[in-house]
Amino acid sequence: MSSGDDIRAERLKKIGLLSDAGMPAYPARTARDTVISDFQDTFDVHESSGEVCTLAGRIMSRRGQGGIAFCDVNDGTGRVQIVLQQSEMDAALFSLFGEAVDIGDFVEVTGVAFITQRGARSFKVKEWRMLAKSLSPIPSEWYGVKDEETILRERYLDILMNQDVREMFIRRAKFWNAIRSFLIERDFLEVETPVLESTPGGADARPFITHHNALDIDVYLRISAGELWQKKLLVAGYPKVFEIGRIFRNEGQSREHLQDYTQLETYEAYSDMEKGKEFVRDLFRHVAQQVYGRTEFTIHGHTVDLAAEWQTVNFCELIREKYAVDPLTCAEMDVVAIAQRAGVLGESDANKQRAVDNLWKSIRKTISGPAFLVGVPAYLEPLAKRSAENPDVVERLQVIIAGSEVGKGYSELNDPQDQEARFQEQQTLRDEGDDEAQRLDTEYVRALEYGMPPAFGFGVSERLFAFLENRPIHTTQLFPLLRPRE
């Protein structure tokens, strides 16, 4: 039997001790009337009045001997030292505590505030009850655990024992709340769109496929947060809409990429890319100030100040300067050869679109930002409106921070004929083997034929939060997907 099994067996015996004493190990209710943070905030009032109150929480540490015991108790709002003295409570109850209670147990304690001889603000226990007996011990050596998979697999212990991780997830909640409040204050309507789709759209990505038994059709987990659905809502007459939702992409995993993650997508009628720049800058700065109280961050070795002026860089110009090839006029054979010589393109994805995009990504790594990338060829963005000055490029912006894309928006394409033609081009790429190219979505084209106003759409994912935290993205999710234990 392992040491873990021995500990579990010993703790099961302690449940028997509790039962013999008439104390349930897992009662349904607690008489708690005060949370620990409130008790600490009003300690002087409690101490001077001698008012009896009831606290509850998990025992995080335990010490003492003989007729006195000290424990630290945490209820998620705060931490307090509790003191049990045999001389000041029922002797049998004191003994039961010593025999049956372990670190990790949840207990309820009734008593008063008092200050120890060493001046520590504490809680003197008059009575106690077990609320939940732990069968596995909290690992005191958790801070020494270096194996990332172990930490992520038992993330609940990581959060419990690591205050920095605990606070990170509080910031994550504030991050999405800051985005939501920013949009609601500007009269955007929050919507929910389907997660299961018969035609996945709104992004260049490989979807997850499943089968819908009731309809007897294959369906896809969405690869965007309702982009095409939200633009249908602009057709329906809503001027401003947004969704914060989960999306799924059956692709690779890296420091910046996950297969399922949270994304914001927002659409505003009668706006465009140029107006959208101000909107995006304001959003990013608002989030940074609301969550972190600052705008300057160190991310992947880059120093980024969101309050600084955002430069605008041009996609085609940068590629021409770096690789002496024009993405707008180059022949596929030439640009594929250049990308392969640069070591950014394999044999399996050797087409013009992938070659040009990968050349750009090699340049992107050198840009700290914040910056807006513009001037993207139309063949790389089938959902954006063409530029009036040059129809070979689209009115699309990407936010570049620390060498990566952290958000994308564009003047939305609302010409149904142009949209159908570009969908057809994407479908041709799919038919030729590019399984990340977009599909022909005739239902979306049909919606555009009823008329959609000019609009600006923008999307940003939880990658932004991971960047602001300067952590790999999977470590900023509460429970990232892992292979099952063997």
Q: Are 342 and 319 in contact (CB under 8 A)?
A: no
Mean pLDDT, rounded, of the chain: 92
The distance of Cα 271 from the centroid of its chain, to the nearest Å, equals: 28
CA distances from 321 to 265, 318, 346, 367, 375 (A): 33, 5, 23, 15, 14
- 390: left (phi > 0), else alpha (psi -120 to 50), else beta? beta
Q: Which of 27-41, 140-154, 353-367 has the highest mean pLDDT?
A: 27-41
Residue 119 has which token pair?
A: 């001046």
pLDDT given for residue 206 in this prediction:
86
pLDDT category, 348, cuts 50, 70, 90?
low
User: Closest by alpha carbon to 381, among 275, 274, 459, 269?
Assistant: 459
pTM of the model: 0.89
Q: For 3-132, which CATH superfamily applies?
A: Nucleic acid-binding proteins (2.40.50.140)
Lowest mean pLDDT, pick from 70-79, 204-213, 401-410:
204-213
Phi, psi (degrees; rounded to nearest 5) at 376: -80, 135
Residue 303 pLDDT > 90, yes or no? yes
Beta strand 371-374 pairing with 311-314: parallel
pLDDT given for residue 436 in this prediction:
67
pLDDT given for residue 345 in this prediction:
80
pLDDT given for residue 174 in this prediction:
98
Task: Give the CA-trace dihedral at 378, 382, 386, 391, to 10 degrees.
Answer: 40
pLDDT category, 257, cuts 50, 70, 90?
confident
Residue 165 pLDDT > 80, yes or no? yes
What does the pLDDT average to over 279-294? Answer: 98
Residue 386 has which token pair?
A: 């063409």
Lowest mean pLDDT, pick from 136-150, 243-257, 391-405:
136-150
- pLDDT tens digits for 398-448? 999 999 999 999 999 999 998 899 888 888 887 777 766 777 788 999 999
% residues pLDDT > 90 (the chain): 72
- pLDDT tens digits for 4-63? 789 999 999 999 999 999 999 999 999 999 999 999 999 999 999 999 999 999 999 999
What does the pLDDT average to over 81-96? Answer: 95
CATH 3.30.930.10 given to domain 156-310+369-476: yes
pLDDT given for residue 253 in this prediction:
80
Strand runs (DSSP E) across 76-185, as ranges?
A: 79-85, 106-115, 121-132
What does the pLDDT average to over 363-385? Answer: 92
Cα–Cα dist 340/358, whole Å = 10
pLDDT category, 142, cuts 50, 70, 90?
low
pLDDT given for residue 332 in this prediction:
85
What does the pLDDT average to over 272-294? Answer: 97
Lowest mean pLDDT, pick from 129-133, 303-307, 323-327:
323-327
pLDDT given for residue 482 in this prediction:
87
pLDDT category, 301, cuts 50, 70, 90?
very high
- pLDDT tens digits for 175-184? 999 999 999 9
Q: What are the residue ranges spanned by the domains of the chain?
A: 3-132, 156-310+369-476
pLDDT given for residue 140 in this prediction:
74
Residue 154 pLDDT > 60, yes or no? yes
- One-character DSSP codes across 291-318: HHS-SEEEETTEEEETTSPPEEEEHHHH
pLDDT given for residue 151 in this prediction:
87
Residue 191 pLDDT > 80, yes or no? yes
How many residues belong to the chain?
486
pLDDT given for residue 423 in this prediction:
86
% residues pLDDT > 70 (the chain): 97
